[in-house]
Structure 1
Amino acid sequence: MAELIGLEQLMSRGRLPGHPVAFREGEALGFASLVVRAAGWRAAFERHGGRRQALYFDDTFEFSAALLGAWHAGVCVYLPADAQPATLARLRDEVDGFAGKIPAEYAPLSPGEGREGGWTPLSPEARALVVYTSGSSGEPTAIPKRLRQLTREVATLAALFEERLGEARVVSTVSHQHIYGLLFRVLWPLSAGRPFAAHGLTYPEDIVAALRQGPAGLIASPAHLKRLPDMLDWAQVRGNLRALFSSGGPLPLEALQACRALLGQAPVEVYGSSETGGIAWRQRTGDDALAWRVMPGVEVGTREEMLTVRSPHLDLPEGDWLRTEDRVRLLPEGFELLGRGDRLLKLEEKRVSLSALERTLLEGGLLREARVLPLEDGHRLAVVAVPSEAGWKLHGEEGKRALNQALRQQLTSRFEPSAFPRRFRYLEAMPVNSQGKSTEASLAALFDPRRPRARVLEQSADRALLTLEASADSPYFEGHFPGTPILPGVTQVHWAIHFGRELFTLPPDFLRLAALKFQRVIQPGTSLTLELTWKKERGSLDFKLTSDTGVHASGRIVFGGANV
């Protein structure tokens, strides 16, 4: 492979003009093309003059050029995880401008004509980046990074994993808009001279197609690895998979086993956070309980069972330790993760550990995953859970109330009744964001009265069947119409889109409705069946709402836009 070049010297030292940087739709984009685009972005940022710019791009090559252009213009780049209205509105007060795939109302910058020379080494102490936590507590936290932190972490990754990849290029299901994707999909490949795919892999079929093109390293998240369909022809392409990486959340045992069976190897799991950078790694080839191995240069310890870290990936005074929120047990070969910290909450003047509640709920064998969270009033707790086979059996034979009661019974020996959760939601899988994490906001949304109670009966890569309850207390019935309430048609379409996004990876932009029909009104208390069919090649989601009385509504919802 090419020589590893630090991020500070990448543009000043350069590479041969034809050295491939990226691939876009079968076309190789060389280093000379990167220099031209980066120069154009440098000129645009210099003309603007603002020193804090938010970047959001679908195309990873264009993002890389804008990132390098910004750094060489003396700009600190702010990296939002998405371009949703709420995210951009919050950023408006934090940055001086925007660039990339941003709505016109934010006046995003465009690259211009710029001089291609004049690249000088960057300062390692430059404040290069601001990334954001996933917002698991509800509000994302900004985390600044100096350029030396990023360069050191890239060097660590190269020292650990470069030989695994060999001459392979990099493909990814993970967005470059957060730290894991940025490091593995952009900064490490740029420094190592390894070409990367300009577009992300949205669907499992895209992974197969990418591996057909030749040797590749796949950057993935648990959210994608948990959904590998066994009907695809993995055997024909897994020989081209040189290395597989996973980060952003815990990898369930079922996903690990699927990777071994379908992809022929266990992923290299990387443990860290936006704040700490990489801390440790492991590859569970045969041992499901393998300990985490600490990365070179990183030191770990404990304080009250909580992991503490001292690392060149951090920007702390020399000798200082950072305390994380993860409980660990130190071992001679590394450490074992024991779960998140206690997450204490005060209920009726008594402290309750949400983490202890979760651990106790899981011990009974009725649940595979569980998250406990406070509801908006702060005086009640709720549970979002993925039942085990035994849990679903109890739910199916005796009803949701019986499962609720069985779980509360498990808590009686350790907790007072005031700490018992009052509301429960049971899912086939936890909702996750692009980082593969379940945020508190997404879990709390499951208890929104506007969301109908639902249960997934069948699900595949392109079809799902659910039961829904048009509850009489749904706010959508209010005022529509007095005396004879019926469910509005716009609500029925909204439910189809909502569950479509939960169950499939849909493109971000709604385009239009087609073949829309409303055939029977839906009255309060109606039990419904929602059938969803996702046609990826057309970008369309077909839906049909039925009940014992027949078909109520059907139609086609068309989506577009890139999805990385």
Structure 2
Amino acid sequence: MSVLKALRSLCETSAPIYSNNKIIAYRGVDPVLWLEIDKRIEHWKEHLNTIPESAIAVHQNSGTELLAVLVAIWQLKKVAVFPSSTRQNHLHTIICPKAIPSLDDTENFVLAAKQNYPLNPDLALIIYTSGSTGQAQPCPKTFSQLNAEIETLESCWKETPLSSLFASSVSRHHMYGLPFGLLWPFLRGNPFIDTRLPYLESLDNLPGDSFTLISSPVQLANLPVNLDTSTPSRCAAVFSAGAPLPSAAAERSQHHFGKAVIEIYGSTETGAIAQRQQTVNKAWQLLPNTKLQINDHQHIEISSPAAGCSDGDWLSLSDIGEQLDEQRFYLKGRDDQIVKVGAKRISLNSINDRLLAHPWICEARTILLNDRKSRIAAVICLNSEGNYHLTDKGRKSVNDVLLQHIDGHVESIAKPRYWRYLSTMPMNSQGKIQTEVLENLFFSERQPRLPELIAHDSGITDSCAKLTLFVPHQLFYFNGHFPGNPILPGVVQISWVMHFAKQQFSELGQFQRLEVIKFQKIIHPGDTIYLELKWDTDKRRLLFSYRNSLEQSLASGRIGFTHHD
């Protein structure tokens, strides 16, 4: 049984939080002791004392470093600000202009925030919403709210073994990953992994005899087939949040982990609201100290200390629900899927539901394109039968079949005018489908040409670089290559090698030739890949290799260069 520490105890400087030899985390298989984190707290306090602003924008990939920064901020009575993403354009909206020149690493920074927030001794954090339905918005979180959520988690899952290692495969910078993957385990005394799991195969290499997995629907829905068969005996619990878990993924996860997945329903504004284990019961069960009601518009309303509600106060959500009793309910979609087309109110959910009724479709999502005369667009994932027709008959033929299918069920003005066919829906690490990403599929000028740089191994020599890259679903080069089964063209893979090599090595010279190029495995949308570059100055050759999370070679070769003119 754990003795949960109060979150406020992190703000005190009079007594140590833990003994120096307490294991707080694991960096690989090496333990990280409290003594090391305590020293990092002092380091960050010295740094933060040079920043006059009271709000500090923070992003750290290391969990122990993020923890040290947060404690330092709170002990200095400042406020932490978490961005919703590490995209440059978003960061420039929240970081103080004079600090922008110091933003040399968008994944790891501690800088003055642009906006000074009203002084409130209970204000702990400003966390930006994910922006999945629009622009990211700041959401204040007090110590009281965070503490209420952590106490709720402890009351629900207090039987979690204290030796269980918390392994998070999601970001700790949102209101799921932060409490579940960092604050709760730290305050109850459980160790956690320092950096988030890059892929679930890494579970096989975790130290200790027990782990608690903090994951997401997109990761559990793509559970690798070759995970260690000893996993069920080591798994204490599996959590998932961000979106409902597909039923097939819930069943497969339970079979593999030996535990029913605990799904969490909530939001940035409310914190955790309810949980379910859908292989046992598909209804959602309210968490302790949380009340729910359905208003006249069928919207869910919540009241809880974690949501910052006083007695009698209710927070209305965009989710539509069906209440079964005081403790249980069903989710019925979102009402923010109502749009106006030609002065008519159109339910995107109703279009999605009708499309999903077609036997060729496994996923469907419709959006409003304001830049295309406010017309409806559809993003579709076809099953094998649908993909056969798409390949055999072409896109227009499939469009016509689907339009005929919804005819009579959807108003003429609401029928999709634009269509895109994907192998999987583009999701972020939280398992959410972002409207902006879907919109970009219909505007070639907005579609990225490069992968997202997730990590750069800074410990490599000047002649070698290792990069972790994420292949965006909306990449421009997937258009028409190929319908229903997009793959990354080989020429694009070479162009990426050239792009990153020019950034890493200043002495490349002029391109001369390609040597022993091999494309061994297909790269798909949404893949995380690993690019290794080695520059041989004497032979004027660049060696490259792409690998996947299983260390399988995807592509490799050499590129010859001439000397600079």
Q: How does 1:341-360 map to 2 (within 5 A)?
A: 341=335, 343-360=337-354
1:299 to 273, 279, 291: 291
Aligned to 1:240: 234
1:352 aligned counterpart, secondary structure: strand
Aligned to 2:135: 139
Aligned to 1:67: 70
One-letter code of the match for 2:258?
G
Q: Provide Cα deviations, 1:109-130, integer angstroms capped at 9, x if missing partner.
A: 59xxxxxxxxxxxx99521111
Deviates more, 1:320-329 or 1:450-459: 450-459
Aligned to 1:485: none
Q: How does 1:74-85 map to 2 (within 5 A)?
A: 74-85=77-88
Kept in 2: contact 1:226–1:255 (CA 8 A): yes
Aligned to 1:492: none
Aligned to 1:49: 52
Taking the aligned partners of 1:125 and 1:359, their CA distance within structure 2 comes to 47
One-letter code of the match for 2:104?
P
| Alpha-carbon distance, 1:245 to partner | 0.5
Q: How does 1:390-405 map to 2 (within 5 A)?
A: 390-405=385-400
2:8 aligned counterpart, secondary structure: coil
Q: Provide Cα deviations, 1:228-249, integer angstroms capped at 9, x if missing partner.
A: 121x143123311111100111
Taking the aligned partners of 1:399 and 1:196, their CA distance within structure 2 comes to 50
| Alpha-carbon distance, 1:43 to partner | 2.6
Q: How does 1:234-383 map to 2 (within 5 A)?
A: 234-287=228-281, 290-303=282-295, 304-332=297-325, 333-341=327-335, 343-375=337-369, 376-383=371-378
Taking the aligned partners of 2:305 and 2:293, their CA distance within structure 1 comes to 15
Q: Provide Cα deviations, 1:183-242, integer angstroms capped at 9, x if missing partner.
A: 1111101210111110111123212222x6421101101111111121x14312331111
Taking the aligned partners of 1:305 and 1:106, their CA distance within structure 2 comes to 40
Q: How does 1:156-171 map to 2 (within 5 A)?
A: 156-171=152-167
1:163 aligned counterpart, secondary structure: coil
Taking the aligned partners of 2:443 and 2:300, their CA distance within structure 1 comes to 35
Q: Provide Cα deviations, 1:118-163, integer angstroms capped at 9, x if missing partner.
A: xxxxx99521111111112331111110111001100000110121
| Alpha-carbon distance, 1:398 to partner | 3.4
Q: Structure 1's 96 and 330: CA in aligned 2 closer, same or farther, altered over 3 A?
A: farther
One-letter code of the match for 1:257?
E
Q: Provide Cα deviations, 1:91-117, integer angstroms capped at 9, x if missing partner.
A: 125x98689x9417999559xxxxxxx
Kept in 2: contact 1:234–1:262 (CA 8 A): no
1:8 aligned counterpart, secondary structure: helix
Give the TM-score taking structure 1 as reference length: 0.77
Taking the aligned partners of 1:541 and 1:467, their CA distance within structure 2 comes to 12
Aligned to 2:457: none
Aligned to 1:542: 555
Q: What RMSD over aligned residues (CA atoms) do the two structures have, in Å?
A: 3.5
Q: How does 1:449-528 map to 2 (within 5 A)?
A: 449=444, 451-452=476-477, 453-454=479-480, 465=487, 502-506=525-529
2:406 to 403, 411, 422: 411
Q: Provide Cα deviations, 1:341-372, integer angstroms capped at 9, x if missing partner.
A: 15222222222121221122212333222111
Kept in 1: contact 2:421–2:483 (CA 8 A): no
2:148 aligned counterpart, secondary structure: helix
Kept in 1: contact 2:427–2:433 (CA 8 A): yes
Taking the aligned partners of 2:429 and 2:341, their CA distance within structure 1 comes to 33
Q: Structure 1's 217 and 108: CA in aligned 2 closer, same or farther, altered over 3 A?
A: closer
Q: Structure 1's 190 and 252: CA in aligned 2 closer, same or farther, altered over 3 A?
A: same
Q: How does 1:180-195 map to 2 (within 5 A)?
A: 180-195=176-191
| Alpha-carbon distance, 1:534 to partner | 3.2
Taking the aligned partners of 1:555 and 1:377, their CA distance within structure 2 comes to 44
Q: Provide Cα deviations, 1:420-465, integer angstroms capped at 9, x if missing partner.
A: 1011111121111122111011111212235242466999xxxx85
| Alpha-carbon distance, 1:394 to partner | 3.5
Q: How many corresponding residue pairs?
A: 483
One-letter code of the match for 2:413?
S
1:36 to 27, 39, 44: 39
One-letter code of the match for 1:156?
T
Kept in 2: contact 1:342–1:354 (CA 8 A): no
Q: Does 1:58 align with 2:51?
A: no
Taking the aligned partners of 2:540 and 2:223, their CA distance within structure 1 comes to 32
1:297 aligned counterpart, secondary structure: coil
Taking the aligned partners of 1:173 and 1:389, their CA distance within structure 2 comes to 30
1:338 aligned counterpart, secondary structure: strand
Aligned to 1:128: 124
Taking the aligned partners of 2:93 and 2:200, their CA distance within structure 1 comes to 34
| Alpha-carbon distance, 1:264 to partner | 2.2
Taking the aligned partners of 1:107 and 1:167, their CA distance within structure 2 comes to 29
Taking the aligned partners of 1:422 and 1:469, their CA distance within structure 2 comes to 32
Taking the aligned partners of 1:424 and 1:351, their CA distance within structure 2 comes to 21
Task: Name structure 2 gaps, 5 residues minimum.
Answer: 112-118, 446-475, 493-510, 512-518, 560-565
Kept in 2: contact 1:23–1:29 (CA 8 A): yes
Taking the aligned partners of 2:546 and 2:320, their CA distance within structure 1 comes to 42
Kept in 1: contact 2:169–2:215 (CA 8 A): yes
Deviates more, 1:333-342 or 1:438-447: 333-342
1:179 aligned counterpart, secondary structure: coil
Kept in 1: contact 2:167–2:181 (CA 8 A): yes
2:56 aligned counterpart, secondary structure: strand
Taking the aligned partners of 1:351 and 1:516, their CA distance within structure 2 comes to 63
| Alpha-carbon distance, 1:65 to partner | 0.4
Which has the higher relative contact order, 1 or 2, with Cα contacts under 8 A spaced 6 or more apart? Answer: 1
Q: Provide Cα deviations, 1:474-509, integer angstroms capped at 9, x if missing partner.
A: xxxxxxxxxxxxxxx9xxxxxx9xx958331246x9
Kept in 2: contact 1:185–1:219 (CA 8 A): yes
| Alpha-carbon distance, 1:389 to partner | 4.0
Taking the aligned partners of 2:154 and 2:398, their CA distance within structure 1 comes to 49
Kept in 2: contact 1:136–1:439 (CA 8 A): yes
Aligned to 1:87: 90
Q: Structure 1's 394 and 105: CA in aligned 2 closer, same or farther, altered over 3 A?
A: closer
